[in-house]
């Protein structure tokens, strides 16, 4: 087995490095690439993607994976799980007919440009025929992968291994009831705009963000801070993790919360145990767990009074004009709850309603209980039920998100899972670290860093998401702790 294992690991690492090249090209495209190089760059990216695809679907590699999988009882647990993950991905790719993959890929790029145009023109009917096909292709995709499983379970599994529709329905139905109740009780606060009162300088803000994320624990010897339109984190290699933010001139709070959020993703990636680096487990395990690490750092810590007790004086050194702003102004500003149309701008209470809405609509569309023609009407009706508002423009309603146009159906729930996992982990963390507030108020993030490294980060992809949550908190995923956290924070 040793010879085969060595061979497998060699190909696995080569694939990982190729993926790193793709990630670097994408990162650069957002950061530095001159506008006119888009054509040659997309050829470069397509070539790397082709080489990666050929290598990962190669028959010899497949035989090797199958042989190792059949003998996996002879391997140590880490290699065994690595083979399991690789086999699962390999099986998925080879189950799909080449024609289907090509057609779906073509459809996605057409659908995406149709979506851009439809959104700009406020014309849903321009996008509707593409969406109809996307839903059909998603259904076919699920059938190719696993005929026996419910369609939505197969789609979900691509993003959150082991999660099921039934489990989500159970968790979301509790959450919905609790959130409606909570929203009716939260008092509306006046809009003070403490951190959006002037024009801010990009270079100065960047210096503050570097100091802040470093203090939290992000390692700049193995990472970097970039500038993009839409903030994201990307891993080029295990020792090169890039977090990226944007700098809207008048919206300092946006740059700061984005940096904290992306640092949460970055810390997870930077602190996976070295023993997983040369396996298929060398990264965060799923989108729902990844998002829990970013949301927890951003919302539970980054929007807390303790955090701003320490960082507001630092920020004032960079921006003396903020001198009169008080900690409570910033904290109030960063924690305002109000129903809004756009998911990405929603506060932490109303955010999950946006996800529940998309989840329920996706189920109806896939089950053919709702046609894409009737989707806008159903969207508005549900939004009114959940948030008490109705969008006046289609660009602020059903056309706001890019996801469906790129074929990401079954993806949205991972955003809500991020919040729920964060609530559950936060409850456990604070019960074991009662002094977190006084520590953070002194700029000491050691307890936070050590707890999450020990319970989440170091495990990489070894445990499946739900097993990891049980291991870290003693319980399977549930909405209880997130709701408790919100109640305590907003109702006192």
CB-based contacts of 149, cutoff 8 Å, min separation 6: 142
> What is the closest distance, in whole angstroms, from the C-beta atom of residue 291 to Zn ion in the complex?
5
* Of 416, 403, 24, residue with least CA distance to 240: 24
Q: Which residue is nearest to Zn ion (CB)?
A: 294
Q: d(Cα 485, Cα 294) in Å, to the nearest integer? A: 16
> What is the closest distance, in whole angstroms, from the C-beta atom of residue 263 to Zn ion in the complex?
11
* Of 232, 243, 237, residue with least CA distance to 267: 243
Q: d(Cα 49, Cα 47) in Å, to the nearest integer? A: 5
Q: 240-245 and 232-237: which strand pairing?
A: antiparallel
* CA dihedral (280, 286, 291, 296) positive or negative: negative
> What is the closest distance, in whole angstroms, from the C-beta atom of residue 108 to Zn ion in the complex?
22
Nearer to Zn ion, 325 or 346 (CB): 346
Q: d(Cα 299, Cα 319) in Å, to the nearest integer? A: 23
> What is the closest distance, in whole angstroms, from the C-beta atom of residue 306 to Zn ion in the complex?
22
| Residue 388 Ramachandran class (φ > 0 left, ψ -120 to 50 alpha, else beta) | left
Active site residue 84: no
> What is the closest distance, in whole angstroms, from the C-beta atom of residue 245 to Zn ion in the complex?
12
| Residue 217 Ramachandran class (φ > 0 left, ψ -120 to 50 alpha, else beta) | left
| Residue 472 Ramachandran class (φ > 0 left, ψ -120 to 50 alpha, else beta) | alpha
* Of 426, 419, 475, residue with least CA distance to 178: 419
Which two three-digit tokens encode residue 135? 């839903």
Judged by the rule CB under 5 A, the positions of this chain that interact with Zn ion are 294
Nearer to Zn ion, 154 or 300 (CB): 300
Nearer to Zn ion, 292 or 405 (CB): 292
Q: Facing residues of 235 across strands?
A: 241
Nearer to Zn ion, 294 or 455 (CB): 294
Nearer to Zn ion, 407 or 418 (CB): 418
Nearer to Zn ion, 244 or 294 (CB): 294
> What is the closest distance, in whole angstroms, from the C-beta atom of residue 262 to Zn ion in the complex?
7
Residue from 128, 233, 262, 362 carrying the catalytic annotation:
262
Which two three-digit tokens encode residue 25? 């090209």
Q: How many CA atoms lie within 13 A of 94 on its CB side?
A: 18
Q: Sheet harboring 240-245: ordered strands across?
A: 223-227, 240-245, 232-237
> What is the closest distance, in whole angstroms, from the C-beta atom of residue 359 to Zn ion in the complex?
18
Contact predicate 478/428, CB 8 Å:
no
Contact predicate 271/403, CB 8 Å:
no
Nearer to Zn ion, 271 or 395 (CB): 271
Task: Provide the annotated active-site residues.
Answer: 262
């Amino acid at each position: 087995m040793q010879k085969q294992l060595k061979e497998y690991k060699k190909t696995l690492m080569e694939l990982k490095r190729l993926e790193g090249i793709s990630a670097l090209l994408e990162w650069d495209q957002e950061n530095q690439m001159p506008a006119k190089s888009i054509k040659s760059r997309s050829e470069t990216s397509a070539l790397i993607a082709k080489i990666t695809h050929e290598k990962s679907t190669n028959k010899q590699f497949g035989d090797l994976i199958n042989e190792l999988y059949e003998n996996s009882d002879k391997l140590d647990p880490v290699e065994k799980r690595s083979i399991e993950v690789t086999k699962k991905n390999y099986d998925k790719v080879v189950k799909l007919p080449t024609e289907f993959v090509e057609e779906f890929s073509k459809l996605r790029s057409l659908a995406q440009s149709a979506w851009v145009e439809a959104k700009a023109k406020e014309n849903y009917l321009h996008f509707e025929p593409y969406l109809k096909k996307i839903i059909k292709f998603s259904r076919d995709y699920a059938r190719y992968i696993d005929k026996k499983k419910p369609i939505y379970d197969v789609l979900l599994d691509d993003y959150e291994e082991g999660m099921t529709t039934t489990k989500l329905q159970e968790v979301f139905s509790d959450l919905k009831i609790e959130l409606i109740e909570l929203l009716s009780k939260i008092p509306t606060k006046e809009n003070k705009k403490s951190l959006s009162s002037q024009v801010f300088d990009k270079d100065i803000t960047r210096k503050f963000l570097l100091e802040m994320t470093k203090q939290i624990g992000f390692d700049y010897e193995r990472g970097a801070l970039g500038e993009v339109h839409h903030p994201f984190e990307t891993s080029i290699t295990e020792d090169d993790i890039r977090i990226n933010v944007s700098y809207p001139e008048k919206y300092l709070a946006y740059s700061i919360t984005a940096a904290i959020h992306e640092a949460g993703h970055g810390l997870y990636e930077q602190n996976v145990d070295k023993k997983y680096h040369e396996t298929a487990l060398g990264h965060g395990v799923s989108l729902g767990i990844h998002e829990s690490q970013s949301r927890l750092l951003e919302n539970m810590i980054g929007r807390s009074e303790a955090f701003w007790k320490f960082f507001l004086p630092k920020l004032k050194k960079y921006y003396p004009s903020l001198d009169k702003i008080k900690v409570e102004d910033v904290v109030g500003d960063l924690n305002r709850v109000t129903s809004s149309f756009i998911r990405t701008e929603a506060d932490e209470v109303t955010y999950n309603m946006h996800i529940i809405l998309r989840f329920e609509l996706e189920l109806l569309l896939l089950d053919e209980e709702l046609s894409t023609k009737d989707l806008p009407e159903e969207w508005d009706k549900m939004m009114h039920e959940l948030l008490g508002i109705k969008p006046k423009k289609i660009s602020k309603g059903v056309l706001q998100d890019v996801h469906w146009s790129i074929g990401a159906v079954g993806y949205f729930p991972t955003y809500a899972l991020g919040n729920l996992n964060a609530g559950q982990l936060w409850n456990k963390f604070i019960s074991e670290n009662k002094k977190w507030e006084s520590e953070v108020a002194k700029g000491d993030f050691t307890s936070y860093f050590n707890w999450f490294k020990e319970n989440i980060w170091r495990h990489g992809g070894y445990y499946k998401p739900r097993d990891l949550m049980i291991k870290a908190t003693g319980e399977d995923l549930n909405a209880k702790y997130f709701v408790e956290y919100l109640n305590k924070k907003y109702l006192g």
